[in-house]
């Protein structure tokens, strides 16, 4: 029984185009990050919205959010082969006034919330006894979220934007 598959030159060309397109970017989207994006203020607001929605959905009673890190940094090695003149914004908070013995429950609840609300898991280290962590990315806007615990059991929640133009448009 011969199980080899023969492809015509046209089929090979189409297959090659599909592979190339998927490697560079989503088909139909501009390559190289030249399209309009959120501006920095909008990205800060969107990151905050992602955090607030997750906290409201998972933590009862809600924790006190203590600002840990609000940072804007240059977009290094962008995955879309675009300009390094773009930036990313990050917001991260300590989640205070939570009982640490419930951390595993919080990780499981936020995993359930994120996976049922348009996020896909990038890294799942919930079972790590020393530094449990969960990293996800939103399917629609590319914002990445994290829930992490340190050695003392203190939790942080954070959001990071995809690469954006500071003013929303290429310079």
What mean pLDDT is reported for the chain?
83
- Residue 92 pLDDT more than 90? yes
What are 3-33's pLDDT values in tens digits? 333 434 443 343 343 333 333 333 333 445 5
For residue 30, give both structure tokens: 């501009």
Measure the CA–CA gap between 91 and 42, rounded to whole angstroms: 13
Tell me the C-alpha distance between 88 and 43, whole Å.
8
**pLDDT tens across 114-161, in order?**
999 999 999 999 999 999 999 999 999 999 999 999 999 999 999 999
- For residue 79, what pLDDT is reported? 64
Are 61 and 87 contacting, i.e. CB atoms less than 8 angstroms apart?
Answer: no
Report percent pLDDT > 90 for the chain. Answer: 70
Q: What is the dihedral of CA 26, 28, 34, 36, to 10 degrees?
A: -100
Question: Can you name the residues that pair with 160 across neighbouring β-strands?
Answer: 90, 144
Q: Is the peptide bond before 52 cis (omega within 30 degrees of 0)?
A: no
């Amino acid at each position: 029984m011969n199980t080899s598959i023969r492809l015509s030159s046209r089929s090979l060309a189409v297959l090659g185009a599909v592979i190339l397109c998927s490697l560079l970017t989503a088909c139909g989207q501009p390559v190289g990050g030249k399209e309009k994006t959120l501006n920095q203020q909008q990205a800060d607001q969107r990151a905050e919205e992602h955090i607030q929605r997750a906290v409201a959905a998972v933590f009862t009673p809600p924790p006190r959010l203590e600002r840990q890190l609000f940072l804007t940094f240059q977009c290094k090695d962008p995955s879309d082969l675009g300009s390094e003149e773009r930036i990313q914004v990050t917001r991260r908070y300590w989640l205070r006034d939570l009982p640490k013995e419930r951390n595993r429950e919080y990780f499981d609840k936020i995993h359930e919330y994120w996976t049922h609300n348009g996020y896909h898991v990038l890294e799942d280290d919930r079972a790590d006894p020393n530094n449990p962590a969960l990293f996800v990315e939103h399917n629609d806007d590319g914002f990445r979220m994290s829930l992490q615990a340190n050695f003392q059991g203190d939790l942080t929640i954070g959001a990071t934007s995809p690469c954006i133009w500071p003013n929303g448009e290429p310079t």
